[in-house]
Amino acid sequence: MSALAVTTQSPFDVAHDFAYHRDDFQALSALIYADAGIVMPEGKAMLIYSRLTKYLRDRAVSTFAQYIDLLNRDPQERRRAISALTTNHTKFFRENHHFEHFARDVRPGLIRRALGGGRVRMWSAGCSSGEEVYSLAMTLLGEDQVMARRIAGSDIALLASDLADHVLETGRAAIYPSIGTAEMPARLKQNWAKVEGANIVISDAVRDLVRFRQLNLLGNWPLKGMFDVIFCRNVMIYFDEPTKEKLLDRLCAKLQPGGFLYIGHSERLVGPAVRRCDPVGPTIYRKHDA
Ligand SMILES: C[S@@+](CC[C@H](N)C(=O)[O-])C[C@H]1O[C@@H](n2cnc3c(N)ncnc32)[C@H](O)[C@@H]1O
């Protein structure tokens, strides 16, 4: 063998604390694809292993084969396992150009409507632990506290949904380490968050606008009404092409004519939604008027 030859050992060739074979990985990968649309190639085999061992320990099973058997019998355990396999990275004012666009081009019209007695609805789909929806709600309330009180008193609501229960709990608690708030504009932080020790607590005025809800984007959406703004960012990166197309088509169908869709920086509009929305900025789309 030459000195440069690299041997790559398969993760299934080594001994693990909990017996784990390629067909276990394949069964789990098929399960998360079926339940959540998330594609997990073999490169993620050890990620699956490390995220699930805690649950095997909790349920006192010693092999992945036994645990998969349990997942096929116990829907609650299955939901916990799927949640544990999601990737929930997020932060306040992530991809800030979206919030700048919203503040400049969308917010004024929505506020006019709301203060005139109209209804305004927004949705953070795949909200993770809530930083995205709170960034949006803070931007909506804005810098002027007097105006914010009028806005908060109007018919405005934000829905924040995710598949994973554990991140929704963090969102509902609305307490975050201060260290993760570096991107939060100073004035908005001053208005809408309170510093408590090493944390910030989101103000009630912002929290009252937001409702967190468990929802699988692949399943039924028992959602009444349409949305003026939908953020669905960094969720589709885990999906295959047909799942992306279908999801975008459904999101587009839930947008009001003239409504705005914001997607993640490495995502793009695909499928039938392309014919119903125009790009109006980087990864920002506006649905055609009726
Ligand atoms: C990387 S986070 C993105 C959070 C936020 N949108 C952002 O851009 O910062 C992706 C989120 O999508 C959620 N997710 C993945 N598949 C989902 C599905 N089928 N239905 C609902 N949420 C899903 C995950 O649980 C995770 O919290």
Q: Which pLDDT band, with edges at 50, 70 and 90, does 4 fall under?
A: low
**pLDDT above 60: residue 5:** no
Output the pLDDT for position 290: 75
Which one of 35, 162, 276, 286 is the catalytic residue?
162
Cβ 86 vs Cβ 163: under 8 Å: yes
Instruction: Please check whether the domain covering 97-287 is classified as CATH 1.10.274.10.
Output: no
Cβ 148 vs Cβ 142: under 8 Å: yes
Which residues partner with 75 through β-bridges?
none
Cα(127) to centroid of ligand 1, in Å?
A: 6
227-232 and 119-125 as β-strands: parallel, antiparallel, unpaired? parallel
Total length of the chain? 290
The tens digit of pLDDT for each residue in 70-95 reads 999 999 999 999 999 999 999 999 99
Output the pLDDT for position 14: 80
Helices (H), the chain: 22-36, 45-58, 64-73, 75-84, 97-101, 107-115, 131-141, 145-152, 165-173, 186-192, 204-207, 241-253
Output the pLDDT for position 13: 78
The tens digit of pLDDT for each residue in 105-160 reads 999 999 999 999 999 999 999 999 999 999 999 999 999 999 999 999 999 999 99
Report whether residue 218 contacts ligand 1, using a CB cutoff of 6 Å. yes
**Average pLDDT rounded to a whole number, residues 169-181:** 97
Choose which CATH entry (1.10.760.10, 3.20.20.70, 1.10.155.10, 3.40.640.10) describes domain 22-84.
Answer: 1.10.155.10
**What is the rounded end-to-end Cα distance, in angstroms, of the chain?**
67
**pLDDT above 90: residue 168:** yes
Cβ 174 vs Cβ 202: under 8 Å: yes
Question: What's the rounded Cα separation, in Å, for the pair 165 and 226?
Answer: 24
**Average pLDDT rounded to a whole number, residues 181-204:** 96
Cα(39) to centroid of ligand 1, in Å?
A: 13
Output the pLDDT for position 136: 98
**150 is an active site residue:** no
Cβ 248 vs Cβ 271: under 8 Å: yes
**162 is an active site residue:** yes
Pocket test for ligand 1, best of 82, 88, 128, 176 (most atoms within 8 A of CB): 128
Q: Which pLDDT band, with edges at 50, 70 and 90, does 2 fall under?
A: very low
2 CA to centre of own chain: 47
* For the chain, domain boundaries: 22-84, 97-287
The tens digit of pLDDT for each residue in 208-246 reads 999 999 999 999 999 999 999 999 999 999 999 999 999
The tens digit of pLDDT for each residue in 22-72 reads 999 999 999 999 999 999 999 999 999 999 999 999 999 999 999 999 999
**pLDDT above 80: residue 3:** no
Q: Which pLDDT band, with edges at 50, 70 and 90, does 12 fall under?
A: confident
